């Protein structure tokens, strides 16, 4: 897959002296969904804002569709749609006029056929003549996306698209984003919700304190850093773990009935056979077994701890 965005050693120090971005290098592939994860103040919005031409970088280069974001600002910007964090809309305007106006801001000729396609894709066509103040929160968020798509960009940035929204609305947004990807739009989203990255992303980038700690295919990340937990449910409670079991790295829950064992899901030998043999040797009856793969959240917490 070719790169639609190439970022080299990008940095930003604000006038206040805050060093928000410290030499980020990254290639974003055409057609992918890249999720940028990171704690508050990590530099995610700064990164997006530079690529969208809203913040001037202090150092480094970035190209969007082959266009330098500073020297060829217009060409680069015309390929990008940005959905900002905050909902800032003209509440007395209609949906259709709002997206027409956005398209005009990009200096694009009117094209109501394109806007109709966008509004239909976002399930807003029926609401085209409604005033924005009459719309639900979810519809207003979709209007923000429609505005960002009004000029037909190939890349869409979504800054915290589901911050503070309820579960249903979050799922609705995910569906919208998936549909856009199916149409070939490259999507870069920032999020605090690991579940969101786990659900949506092809690749995950982790930013912390202005540095890109890693970028990896989500599946590889889960595979490489993921751990599994085996939970053994006992037939009768134990007051304490026999030494032979404790020395295998097991832990007993306070209820005395569940024992858990954490293991590397990629290791050649999981150690489970040895473990079960040890239970049998101690005469402990096992009632049930279950395993659980660690979530992206577990992986993220481990990485930020280990790499930071
Ligand atoms: N305009 C600005 N002037 C000075 N400092 C800024 C400015 N914008 C952001 N910063 C600082 O730069 C750092 C990175 O902020 P940024 O908003 O990029 O992080 P973020 O990862 O998007 O955080 P959040 O998840 O809270 O949105 C923070 O320390 C922030 O206070």
d(Cα 301, Cα 282) in Å, to the nearest integer? Answer: 36
Q: What are the domain boundaries of the chain?
A: 1-79+154-225, 89-148, 227-294
Q: What's the CA-to-centroid distance between 20 and ligand 1, angstroms?
A: 6
d(Cα 35, Cα 225) in Å, to the nearest integer? Answer: 17
Q: Whose CA is nearest to atom 8 of ligand 1?
A: 46
d(Cα 38, Cα 293) in Å, to the nearest integer? Answer: 22
In this structure, the number of other CB atoms found within 10 A of the CB of residue 118 comes to 23
DSSP run (H or E) holding 11: strand 3-13
Tokens of 45: 């919005």
**Segments in the chain below pLDDT 70:** 1, 224-227, 265-268, 270, 294-299, 304, 307-308
d(Cα 6, Cα 28) in Å, to the nearest integer? Answer: 7
- pLDDT at position 19, please? 96
Tens digit of each residue's pLDDT (9 = 90 or more) over 207-257:
989 999 889 998 887 776 666 788 999 999 999 999 888 888 888 999 999
Listed residue (73, 82, 53, 76) closest to 156, CA to CA: 82
> Which residues are near ligand 1 (CB < 6 Å)?
14, 16, 18, 20, 38, 40-46
Q: Among 1.10.3720.10, 3.40.50.300, 3.40.50.10470, 3.30.2010.30, what is the CATH number of 1-79+154-225?
A: 3.40.50.300
- pLDDT at position 268, please? 64
227-294, CATH topology level: Alpha-Beta Plaits (3.30.70)
């Amino acid at each position: 897959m070719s790169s639609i965005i190439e970022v080299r050693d990008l940095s930003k120090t604000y006038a206040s002296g805050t060093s928000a971005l410290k030499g980020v290098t990254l290639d974003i592939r055409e057609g992918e969904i890249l999720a940028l994860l990171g704690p508050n103040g990590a530099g995610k919005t700064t990164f997006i804002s530079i690529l969208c031409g809203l913040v001037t970088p202090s150092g480094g280069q970035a190209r969007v569709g082959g266009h330098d974001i500073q020297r060829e600002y217009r060409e680069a910007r015309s390929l990008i749609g940005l959905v900002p964090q905050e909902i800032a809309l003209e509440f007395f305007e209609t949906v259709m006029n709002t997206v027409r106006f956005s398209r005009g801001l990009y200096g694009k000729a009117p094209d109501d056929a394109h806007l109709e396609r966008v509004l239909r894709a976002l399930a807003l066509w029926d609401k085209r003549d409604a005033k924005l103040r009459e719309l639900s929160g979810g519809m207003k968020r979709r209007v923000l996306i429609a505005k960002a798509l009004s000029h037909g960009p190939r890349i869409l940035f979504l800054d915290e698209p589901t911050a503070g929204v309820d579960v249903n609305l979050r799922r609705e947004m995910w569906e919208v984003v998936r549909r856009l990807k199916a149409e070939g739009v490259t999507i870069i989203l920032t999020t605090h919700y690991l579940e969101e990255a786990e659900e949506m992303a092809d690749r995950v980038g982790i930013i912390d304190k202005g540095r890109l700690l890693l970028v990896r295919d989500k599946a590889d990340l889960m595979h490489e850093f993921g751990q599994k937990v085996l939970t053994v449910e006992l037939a009768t409670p134990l007051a304490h773990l026999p030494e032979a079991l404790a020395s295998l790295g097991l832990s007993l829950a306070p209820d005395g009935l569940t024992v858990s064992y954490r293991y590397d899901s990629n290791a050649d030998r999981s150690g489970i056979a040895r473990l079960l043999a040890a239970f049998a040797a101690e005469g402990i009856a096992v009632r049930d077994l279950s395993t659980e793969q660690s979530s992206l959240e577990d992986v993220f917490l481990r990485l930020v701890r280990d790499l930071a």
